[in-house]
Chains A and B, each alone.
Chain A
Amino acid sequence: MIRLLLVDDHSSFRQPLAFMLDREPDMRVVGQAGAVSEARPLLGLADVALFDLDLPDGTGLDLIRELRAINQCCAALVLTASAARRDFATVVEAGASGVMHKSVRIEEIISAVRRLHQGEALMSARETAEMLQLAGEWRAEDSEVRAALSRLTAREREVLQALADGLGDKEIAARLVLSVDTARRHMANILGKLGADSRLQALVLAVRHGAVEIR
């Protein structure tokens, strides 16, 4: 019997999925949770755990890492609405045995659970290695951008936020009580520090790393 734990904050997906999995003769859902805090006490109970990534009080990645520490025998399968390779790679790096987009059919989920329980891999060794390499590259890129953002002065951050608010040079200068030339100089410094070719690229990097808000 395969003991299953389902963690997803979309109850109206998780509950009927649990119902359908429970109907399989070799499967039993031993726990369900809609949040990281609810899932924690259940991590030791399952042979295969299905995790969503976006949870109200954390991410499925947190749970996968905790699972690896307390229940080595349990395979983690991530079901996510994200199609980003970056997310897939991060999941593999965190120690998940498999990751599937939520566009799959229920038969594919059932088949994946059985394969994982039998110790099979859902991805080839090459795919796994690629994912791990990508995750490493993205982590390195991430820390470079964070370091670059930390080199911005307070004034440059204000200019960047004004840019995120959709302001042009004249408006930025007016908001921050600067000359237009000074505002442009700040912008050029920002692009130089971030290694960005355009204002849009600088903005994307800043938004992605939480340096500015889109309001």
Chain B
Amino acid sequence: MGTIRIVVANELWSYRDVLAAALSCLRPEAQVVSVEPDELDVEIARLMPHLVLCSKLTAAVESVPGWVVLYPGHETRAEICIGGERQTVADVQFDSLLGVVDSIKRHTRLGVVPSL
């Protein structure tokens, strides 16, 4: 089974630090990399992640199979996209983020686009 690559680039350092650390612990098969938000587009081109967690949507982020824009402008909501299907969640729970990781993992393994 291949490794999935997750890039975490949330604006607030504590957010990306905590998310990257917890994801690494709970999904040890995933390769989790924390990057500065300003460097996200470059890192996407370099690392070709399967999933991006960030605070702002860019064209580069949209090119990734899965992404979660978490708390844009510090609002308590998230935009989630898996394989092109988008959803807005009012107060996303961490379990749901783990669910996104698992969906992306299935997507990568099976080569299909999972639904949310």
Which label, helix, strand, loop or mixed, suits the secondary structure of the A interface?
mixed
Question: Which one, B17-25, B41-49, B57-65, B101-109, is touching chain A?
Answer: B17-25
Are B19 and A16 touching (Cβ within 8 A)? yes
Identify the stretch in A98-106, A124-132, A179-187, A207-215 within 8 Å (CB) of chain B at 4 or more residues: A98-106
Nearest CB of A to B11, in Å: 9
- Distance in angstroms from A144 CB to nearest chain B CB is 30
Which size bracket describes the interface of B in this complex?
20 to 34
Contacts of A81 in B (CB 8 A): 12, 74
Interface residues of A (CB under 8 A from B): 9-13, 15-17, 19-20, 23, 34, 54, 56, 79, 81, 102-106, 109
User: Can you list 25 pairs linking A and B with CB atoms under 8 Å apart?
Assistant: A10-B15, A10-B71, A11-B93, A12-B93, A13-B18, A16-B18, A16-B19, A16-B23, A17-B22, A19-B26, A19-B94, A20-B18, A20-B21, A20-B25, A23-B25, A34-B91, A54-B74, A56-B76, A81-B74, A102-B12, A102-B13, A105-B13, A105-B17, A106-B14, A106-B21
B: residues with CB less than 8 A from A are 12-15, 17-19, 21-23, 25-26, 70-71, 74, 76, 78, 91-97
